[in-house]
A and B are shown apart, each in its own frame.
Chain A
Amino acid sequence: MTLSLAEVEHIATLARLELSPEEKELFRAQLSSILDYAARLRELDTSQVSPTFSVLPPRSVLRQDVPHPGLSLADLLHNAPQAEDRQFRIPPVFE
């Protein structure tokens, strides 16, 4: 199963990645081989198996609704490349 160039470009857009023409070809080949590998699952007959959404035992794990203070502002913004007015400053999202 080989992905089309357009499919690779679409995935790159969703991932907000800008790829060079060489990279597009490289990832097209790599992604295609990953899909081929995963496609081996299709060889199994799962018609009698109900969908598995989780491998954890079917038991709810819930937390009491009790608030605790979070991080200090200094800690929260510690690794932010840029901060302003108590907030993360980031490149504009509306061009």
Chain B
Amino acid sequence: MQFKPVIGLEVHAELATQSKMFCACPVVDSTQAEPNSAVCPVCAGMPGTLPVLNRRAVEYGLRVALALECEVAPMSIFARKNYFYPDLPKGYQISQYEQPLARNGRLIIQTSQGERTIRIRRVHLEEDTGKLTHCQVNGESYSLVDLNRAGIPLLEIVSEPDLHTAEEVRLYAMALRSLLRYLGVNSGDMQKGVMRVEPNISVRLSDSPTLGVRTEIKNLNSFRALERAVAYEIQRQSEILSRGEEVIQETRGWDEAQGKTFVQRTKEEAEDYRYFPEPDLPPLIVDEKLIAEIRASLPELPAAKLQRFQLQYGLNAYSAGVLTAEPAVAEFFEQTARACQAASAKMAANWISGELFGLLNQAGLEIEASPVSPTALAELIDMVARGEINQNAAKTTLVEMFVGGETAQTIVVARGLRQISDADQIAQWVQRVLNENPEQVAAYYKGKATLAKWLFGQVMRLAKGRANPQTIQEELEKQLNARQPPDAP
């Protein structure tokens, strides 16, 4: 039986405001701050308190809605989602239900199968919940409640079920994260839970018009976990249907260590939440003027930058994708490319996404903290482009720049790394290598072509790695051809 997965994503993103959604409590890092250090009567759910909406949360929500090409509702309303769970002491979450902030958007993603458009069903504002810690001490179980996170502004972004593979799900989530970071509304830190991705997955027979029963997966705190969990769930549901059994609608968790999903709870129906309009908040009115202001303030978005990088710098789609995923990386690249005099933007792209990323990764640093600045990097690759140092010497130099902070020029001079392009000198080294290795040379003539590489290496060794590789190559070919015995194949 051939099954087709149908997947939609709910993404919850905290909005990086200074204060909470409906009260003035400071937004603190709930993984770092002391428990209950940012709580007031409103977010503690004390009787008689009233919520007042945070202007910046609305603006941030609109930034995302417009970047996703949504239709913004002229009037949206807040609703109470009622459920009893101690993570929200009011007994309900203030959310949006019937009239969300925005609808009908789209996000374009680049997959290995080409470009795909994923439709966005809705974008709405709500408040985050508190954090529960479950304890077991001396056989006694209890829970502890920390309300620092309760009331932090949250944006829920719901896609249409347009995704069909685990890869697409990961790429969509990554594209959304990138967008949120470009817009400056969310750090995208999944480990800290400021962005949470919950896929809804069902599978159906390829030719069936009706959707299968879906499950939702929670607590996925990395893109890798997301992709693995979706792949696992597609497989699990396909096997259930192949056996002629039925999938149960439920919320499942992800066990990273075992690489499996497991039942968390059976899913509530929407009517169980008894949504009704929040009587304590007036409707939210968004006029054309506000939309125009926010639209004008949007930065160049990842998709536009991706295209521009290809056109303006001649990068391929892959390279442009790597350099535009993070706004800080894109900025670093553009500064480097601008500072380059001899080197091309392509070279700058390769050095950043290759050597520099490697060093940053090893050191556990973000590009903002790179010890090598864009201008310092440009100086180095200009030296490569001008043939003053070769690729290997440049790599060594970059490592030293990264560690010691000196300029490329200083390191090259101090370490004597300047490239030797003197053809006479190189010709002498080639001659010496060929004279000293008659067996290898003979084997080469008998057809062992790979020995050319070995001979090249010997010459480079004599040159202590500093010779111009192209000159060696040319000289080696020239001398080998000149010596070639007449009976060689």
A interface residue numbers (CB < 8 A to B): 14-16, 53-54, 56-71, 73, 76-77, 84-95
Q: Determine which of B19, B38, B83, B142 lies in contact with A66 in the assembled complex, contact meaning CB atoms within 8 Å.
A: B19
By the criterion CB–CB under 8 Å, are A67 and B55 in contact?
no
- Contact A54 B132, CB 8 Å, known A66-B18, A85-B35: no
Q: Contacting B283 at CB < 8 Å: which of A56, A63, A64? A: A56
Given contacts A59-B282, A60-B53, A93-B85, contact A71 B141 (CB under 8 A): no
Q: B77 on the interface (CB 8 Å rule)?
A: yes
B residues lining the A interface (CB < 8 Å): 17-19, 23-27, 34-41, 43-44, 52-58, 75, 77, 82-86, 98-99, 132-134, 141-147, 272, 274, 277, 279, 281-286
Minimum C-beta distance from A86 to chain B (A): 4
Asked if B283 and A53 make an inter-chain contact with CB atoms under 8 angstroms apart, the answer reads yes
Contact A92 B134, beta carbon cutoff 8 Å: yes
CB distance from A12 to the nearest CB of B (A): 12
The residue of chain B having its C-beta at the shortest distance from the C-beta of A94 within the complex is B134
A70 lies within 8 A of B272 (CB)? no
Closest residue of chain A to B59 (Cβ to Cβ) is A65
Given A16-B84, A56-B283 in contact, is the A87-B277 Cβ separation under 8 Å? no
A61 to chain B, nearest CB (A): 5
18 more contacts with CB within 8 A, not counting A14-B272, A66-B18, are A53-B77, A54-B77, A60-B285, A62-B54, A62-B55, A62-B58, A63-B24, A64-B56, A67-B25, A68-B24, A68-B40, A76-B39, A77-B36, A86-B35, A87-B133, A89-B144, A94-B134, A94-B141
Residues of B within 8 A of A84 (CB): 144
Note all chain A residues with C-beta closer than 8 A to B24: 63, 66-68, 70
Q: Which chain A residues lie closer than 8 Å to B147 at the CB level?
A: 88
- Smallest CB separation, A31 vs chain B (Å): 13
In the docked arrangement, what's the CA distance between A56 and B285, Å?
12
B residues in contact with A63, CB < 8 Å: 19, 24, 52-55
Q: Please determine whether A91 and B143 come into contact, CB atoms closer than 8 angstroms.
A: yes
Is there an interface contact between A54 and B19, defined as CB atoms closer than 8 Å? no
Chain B residues, Cβ within 8 Å of A73: 36-37
